[in-house]
């Protein structure tokens, strides 16, 4: 009786084993993952530029902080020019200018100018910046970034979207949020962690994308940790696992509609 039960369990386990995706399914998923990864990369660039500015210290007068922020940005990235400007009683600004021949920021060549606007102070500070007058690696950076800190809410964000560089006929839109740990934003000189959601459109249609806990190291293209979910235009679900084993060799694990995961390469 026990032998029959064990045999039945073996047969059931084999029957319930996950099937492998087809070659066509893998190739379709790889193309969609490629565009999703590149859209996350654009959002990551915008958030890294936000990270050039020091984070406001609660309780400090706004104008005092803005002067220090300009100095701190220049110390962090020596090739940029940072100028503090008083706007009105409620707003001050730091104007970042990058040279025409380019300035290297976390491995990216940046040109152009952007104004970082600071509102409030002491009990709450809100920062916003429009980065659309910047070019990164020769492409316009179509993004806005900012934060709200102190008070009841701490929120660091980016809204990025437009044509996807290097992917003709494709576009993207991602709302990203920097992760927090004990109230401190998870970006700095070497690491950035963000979550986000949005859409990627191209020859394959429009896919919905969700990014969770993407952890980037400076100078690397793929996240070393995190997950992505792609809900495709054709009604499929593609889960992407970024892990510390594969990221350095440019590969990710992909699961299509709950089938057996496969490993695919992602080209920068």
Question: Total structural domains in the chain?
Answer: 1
How many separate helices (H) and strands (E) can be counted in the chain?
3, 17
The predicted pLDDT at position 3 comes to 38
The predicted pLDDT at position 95 comes to 97
**80-91: pLDDT as tens digits:** 999 999 988 889
Q: Which residue in this structure is represented by tokens 């070393």?
A: 224
- The rounded distance, in Å, linking the Cα atoms of 213 and 147 is 18
17: exposed, middle or buried (Cβ count in 10 Å: 0-12, 13-18, 19+): exposed
Domain membership of residue 1 (yes or no) is no
The predicted pLDDT at position 4 comes to 41
DSSP state of 234: T
Domain membership of residue 32 (yes or no) is yes
The predicted pLDDT at position 254 comes to 98
Domain membership of residue 130 (yes or no) is yes
Domain membership of residue 108 (yes or no) is yes
Domain membership of residue 69 (yes or no) is yes
The predicted pLDDT at position 182 comes to 75
- The rounded distance, in Å, linking the Cα atoms of 179 and 245 is 22
Range of the domain at 50: 21-265
Domain membership of residue 8 (yes or no) is no
The predicted pLDDT at position 7 comes to 31
Domain membership of residue 50 (yes or no) is yes
The predicted pLDDT at position 17 comes to 66
Is the pTM higher than 0.85? yes
- The rounded distance, in Å, linking the Cα atoms of 258 and 42 is 28
Residue from 222, 230, 241 nearest 200 by CA: 230
Domain membership of residue 9 (yes or no) is no
DSSP state of 79: T
The predicted pLDDT at position 14 comes to 31
**178-202: pLDDT as tens digits:** 988 777 788 877 889 999 999 999 9
- The rounded distance, in Å, linking the Cα atoms of 232 and 238 is 8
Low-confidence stretches of the chain (pLDDT < 70) are 1-17, 152
At 202, list the tokens: 């191209």
């Amino acid at each position: 009786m026990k032998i029959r039960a064990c045999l039945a369990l073996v047969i059931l386990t084999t029957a319930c084993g996950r099937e492998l995706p087809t070659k066509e399914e893998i190739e379709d998923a790889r193309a969609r993952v490629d565009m999703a990864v590149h859209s996350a990369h654009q959002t990551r660039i915008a958030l890294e530029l936000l990270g050039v500015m020091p984070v406001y210290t609660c309780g400090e007068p706004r104008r005092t902080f803005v002067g220090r922020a300009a100095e701190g940005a220049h110390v962090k990235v020596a090739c940029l020019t940072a100028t503090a400007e008083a706007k009105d009683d409620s707003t001050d600004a730091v104007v970042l200018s990058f040279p025409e021949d380019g300035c290297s920021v976390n491995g990216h060549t940046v040109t152009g100018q952007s104004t970082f606007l600071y509102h409030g102070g002491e009990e709450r500070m809100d920062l916003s910046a429009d980065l659309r007058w910047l070019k990164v690696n020769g492409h316009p950076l179509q993004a806005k970034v900012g934060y709200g800190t102190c008070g009841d809410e701490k929120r660091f964000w980016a809204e990025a979207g437009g044509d996807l560089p290097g992917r003709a006929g494709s576009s993207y839109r991602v709302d990203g949020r920097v992760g927090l740990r004990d109230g401190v934003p998870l970006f700095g000189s070497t690491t950035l962690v963000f979550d986000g959601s949005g859409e990627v459109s191209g020859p394959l249609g429009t896919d919905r994308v969700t990014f969770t806990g993407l952890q980037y190291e400076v100078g690397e293209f793929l996240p070393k940790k995190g997950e992505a979910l792609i809900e495709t235009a054709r009604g499929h679900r593609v889960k992407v696992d970024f892990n510390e084993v594969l990221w350095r060799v440019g590969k990710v694990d992909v699961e299509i509609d709950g089938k057996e995961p496969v490993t695919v390469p992602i080209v920068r």
